[in-house]
Chains A and B, each alone.
Chain A
Amino acid sequence: MAAPTDATAPIDHPALARVKEAFRDRRLRATQFRGQVTLIVEPADLHPIMQFLRDDAACTYNFLSDVTAVDYLHYPQEMPGRFAVVYNLLSHDRDDRLIVKTFLDPSIPTDGTEADPALFVDSVTDIWPGAEWTEREVFDMFGIRFRNHPDLRRILTWEDYPAHPLRKDYPLRGRGERESYRVLDRTSS
C-alpha cells in the first residue's frame, strides 16, 4: 500500500488525464487517499463522464461495484455539499478502481420524503444495468432520486415509509415506526 500522500501532491492517474482532456470546459476536482483516487464531478456532468469512463479505451471501467451515498451533515470538515453520491468503478482489464463522487445540496427541509428538485442525478442504469438496485437503495436511504431510472421504488423499507432513514437528521431510533403495529393477544386469533 502506498504511504499516505500529502494532500497537495499532484494526482497522477491515467484515467484523470483522459477525462480532463475530453471534458476541458467542465469543473473537475480530484482527491487522493492512500493511493485511491476520487474524481469529483458536477451533478450535470455525471452521466457523460460515466459513459466516457466506461467506453474510453484507456479507461475501460466496465464494472460498477457499488453506488452509495454519504450525508455530510455535521461533518467536522467543510465539504462541497451536504450529500455525496459515490460510484465505485472497477476496470477488470486494468485491475484499477476509481471512485466518482458528485455533491448535492438540498433545497427543502430534509426531514420529509417529498421530492427535492435539487436532489436529482442522472441514473447510470443505461451504462451499467447493475446500478438499478443500488440506486434504489440510495433513493430509499437518502432520498436522492435518479432521472431515467427504470423502476425507482424503495427497496429496503416500504413504499410509504415516512422518512429516508440514513439521513443524519433522522433519529437513530426512528420516529416511532418500530412501535406502530397492532398488538395481538391470545384472544385475537
Chain B
Amino acid sequence: MGIETALPTDVMLTTQLQRVINWSRRSSIWPLPFATACCGIELMATACSRFDLARFGAEVMRFSPRQSDLLIVAGRVGIKMLPVLQRMYEQMTEPKWVISMGACASTGGVFDTYATVQGCDQFIPVDVYIPGCPPRPEMLIEGVMAIQRIIDEDRIPPKGPDGKRVPLGIAVSPNYTPKPQPVGLTVGS
C-alpha cells in the first residue's frame, strides 16, 4: 500500500535524516479534541470518512493530553471549563500545537455573557485560528495543514527574538465555495 509497492525491491533512496524526521512528525499529529459545543460535531465529521482527516495523519484522537500533539479547542469555553483547558494544555508535551476552532473558541462568538470566556487565546497560546460557525471540515484540515507546513519547514519550536517560543497566530481563511442547496446525493445510486 505504501511507497514500497511502487518501487523496485533493489532500489535505494537517499534523503536527509531531518527530512525523514519532519515527514514522520507531520504525518502523525495526534489531536486532543477539546470539543465543548457544536463545533465538536464538525470536528467529528472531519475525522469521519467523507472528509477523512486520516489522510493527513491526524485521525488518532487522543483523549489523554499526554499522548497528543495538537489541542483542538472546538466550542465555547465556559468560565468553569477554562482552568480545565489550561491544565490539559500544561499536561501536553512539547512540541505541542493549539488550534482554536470556530468563532466561540476564538472570540466567544455570540455568547457575550458572564459565563463564556471571550476567546481562549487570552489565556493559552493559540497557533491557528479557524473562523466559522462552525468552520467547514475543509477549513479544519487547512488548519492542520498549516501546522504541517511549519513542521516541514523545520520551524519547531518557533522562537521569538528573545528566544522564547511564540504562538504562531495563523488565521485560516475560507477555502471553499459554497454550493447551491440542495445538492444531489452522491452515494447510493
Contacts and interface: CB of A to CB of B under 8 A. Distances in A.
- A and B interact physically: yes
B82 interface: yes
Given A172-B113, A174-B114, A178-B116, A187 B165 contact: yes
Most A Cβ at <10 Å: residue of B90, B125, B157: B125
A185 B114 contact: no
B112 A179 contact: no
A185 B124 CA distance: 6
Interface string A162-174: 0001000011111
Interface in B154-180: 157, 164-167
B115 interface: yes
B164 A165 contact: no
A179 B122 contact: yes
A173 B113 contact: yes
A112 to B, nearest CB: 16
Interface residues of A, number: 21
A182 to B, nearest CB: 7
A175 B89 CA distance: 26
Interface in A102-120: none
A189 B89 contact: yes
Contacts of A189: 89-90
B123 A182 contact: yes
Contacts of B83: 181
Most buried by A among B83, B86, B166: B86
A189 B113 CA distance: 29
B125 A165 contact: no
Contacts of A187: 164-165
20 contacts: A157-B80, A165-B115, A170-B114, A172-B114, A178-B79, A178-B115, A178-B118, A179-B118, A181-B82, A181-B83, A181-B123, A182-B123, A184-B86, A184-B125, A186-B125, A186-B165, A186-B166, A186-B167, A189-B89, A189-B90
